[in-house]
Amino acid sequence: MALALCLQVLGSLGGWLSLYFSCCHVNKHRGYEWSCRLVTLAHGVLAIGLSAYIGFIDGPWPFTYPGSPNTPLQAHVLCLTLGYFIFDLGWCLYFQSEGALMLAHHTLSILGITTALVLGESGTEVNAVLFGSELTNPLLQLRWFLRETGHYHSFAGDVADFLFVALFTGVRIGLGARLLFCEMVSPKPRWFMKAGGIAMYAVSWCFMVSIWRFAWRKSIKKYHAWRSRRGEEPQRKRNGHLRAH
């Protein structure tokens, strides 16, 4: 069983590396981060779909049965995601592109997924955390691609920002608190899985503080720009009236 899981993780890592090198080959005129972001986007979309199917259809329900034995599908998805996080952490370390908080997030993710696979349990709540963590990922990548292509300061950029902040607050902070509470009061999960849940939720709050600061600064900037435009409209009207006479 352990050998089969290791082979799945290695296969996943090899698959993500192959996709990355293929993206680099196709997008030679772009930087390496462009290709890495494409891989991240692909993993995000895939992880959202698979984890949503597990949580909402295949089961068990994470808010009711934390600490349950892993199902075969949960194990496959966790192996797929573990391979990705190993790839992305290695990329971030090699290119030194991320700060300590993101590195801590990836490290905790790798430890949590590995522990769930080794124990053969708690895949239910780890899969739920995966869903919540990756739900905002496509929007995060969309914001980056809009910025890189010069389309960020547009209606599409505003919508992406709003949805990102709303989903992060509602899912990772709101529903994340509920999931953590269920994890803590349940007698089934091991104590170190509960400690890992607290650590991951603390990391989410650190991200949340930065996101709210960004949202506040952008809102103030938008408000001042709106006030400035409103102040200019009467002046334009007066100038037009004077020219008419």
Residue 240 lies in a domain: no
Domain presence at residue 13: yes
- Which helix (H) or strand (E) element contains residue 136? none
The two tokens of residue 147 are 């910025």
CA gap 118, 121 in Å, rounded? 8
What does the block give as tokens for 3?
Answer: 């050998």
Look at residues 21, 67, 25, 76 and name the one whose alpha carbon lies nearest to residue 47: 76
Check if the beta carbon of residue 196 is closer than 8 Å to that of residue 108. yes
Q: Is 174 part of any domain? A: yes
User: Is 143 contained in some domain?
Assistant: yes
Name the token pair of 115: 């522990």
Judge whether 237 lies within some domain.
no
For residue 6, the enclosing domain spans 1-230
In a domain, 235, yes or no: no
98 belongs to a structural domain = yes
Whether the model clears a pTM of 0.95, i.e. scores above it, the answer is: no
2 found inside a domain: yes
Among the listed residues 220, 193, 200, the one whose alpha carbon sits nearest the alpha carbon of residue 101: 200
- Give the C-alpha separation, 241 to 2, whole Å: 81
Rounded Cα–Cα distance for residues 110 and 12 (Å): 14
Q: 106: which residues sit within 8 A by CB, 6+ positions away?
A: 85, 88, 89, 92
Residue 9: the pLDDT is: 96
Note down pLDDT in tens along the chain; length 245 residues: 788 999 999 999 999 999 999 999 999 999 999 999 999 999 999 999 999 999 999 989 999 999 999 999 999 999 999 999 999 999 999 999 899 999 999 999 999 999 999 999 999 999 999 999 999 999 999 999 999 999 998 899 999 999 999 999 999 999 999 999 999 999 999 999 999 999 999 999 999 999 999 889 888 887 777 777 776 655 555 555 544 44
The pLDDT assigned to 221 comes to 84
Return the structure tokens found at 173: 């902070």
pLDDT of residue 180: 96
Give the number of domains in the chain: 1
Euclidean distance between the first and the last CA atom of the chain, given in angstroms as a whole number: 89
